[in-house]
């Protein structure tokens, strides 16, 4: 109990004031609580967070939403998968696979999907199958961090292509969705 027997009117007043502001405190907690995937609306009208890729190179990633902010780092290749976690006007706050965050202009991002192979087992590989089944023939084994282009996901499996465009050794197949950074659990798209 907060107060044992009201010793004074003063203690009772503090007790009552606390309960008077309690609804405001609880409302503040719910307003600022983290939002689950696909729940937040954004400036663009698209869901937050969401995955995209970098459009061109080089891309300056800034510490704030605008050209007046310092450049934190830059991407020197295009097609890097990133997660948009916030929007401000025409600027997008992104997060990369390592968890590093920064701001880029919306024109430097594209909605195509890519990701990285992320094995569930330490020092393991990601198996790519000929169809959506672990009983299907094995097409390839992807080392951790291998970039894949993602064409569709059904909530359990994603259709991917590993290798860079124009390379001779491109492998296409199916990878378990949980083993790709760049796709949310149970996310479905085509």
Name the CATH superfamily for 50-112: SH3 Domains (2.30.30.40)
* All structural domains of the chain with their residue ranges: 50-112, 115-189
Question: DSSP string covering 115-166, please?
Answer: EEE--SSTT--EEEESSSSTTSPEEEEEPTT-EEEEEEEESSEEEEEES-TT
Whole-number pLDDT of residue 2:
29
Per-residue pLDDT at 123: 85
Q: Using 50 as the pLDDT threshold, list the residues of the chain that sit under it.
A: 1-39
- May I ask the CATH architecture of the domain 115-189? Roll (2.30)
pLDDT tens figures, 61-97:
999 999 999 999 999 999 999 999 999 999 999 999 9
pTM to 2 decimal places: 0.76
Q: Do domains 50-112 and 115-189 have the same CATH topology?
A: yes
């Amino acid at each position: 109990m907060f107060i044992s027997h009201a010793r004074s009117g003063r203690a009772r007043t503090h007790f009552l004031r606390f309960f008077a502001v309690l609804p405001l405190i609880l409302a503040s907690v719910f307003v600022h609580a983290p939002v689950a995937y696909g729940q937040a609306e954004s400036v663009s009208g698209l869901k937050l967070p969401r995955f995209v890729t970098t459009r061109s190179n080089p891309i300056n990633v800034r510490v704030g939403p605008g050209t007046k902010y310092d450049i934190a780092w830059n991407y020197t290749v295009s097609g890097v998968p990133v997660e948009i976690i916030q929007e401000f006007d025409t600027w997008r706050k992104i997060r990369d696979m390592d968890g590093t965050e920064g701001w880029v202009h919306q024109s430097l991002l594209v909605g195509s999907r890519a990701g990285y192979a992320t094995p569930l087992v330490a020092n393991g590989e990601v198996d790519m199958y000929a169809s959506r089944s672990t009983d299907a023939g094995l097409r390839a084994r992807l080392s951790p961090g291998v970039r894949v282009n993602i064409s569709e996901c059904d909530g359990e499996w994603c259709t991917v292509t590993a290798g860079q465009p124009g390379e001779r050794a491109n492998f296409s197949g199916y990878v378990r969705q949980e083993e790709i950074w760049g796709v949310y659990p149970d996310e479905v798209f085509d």
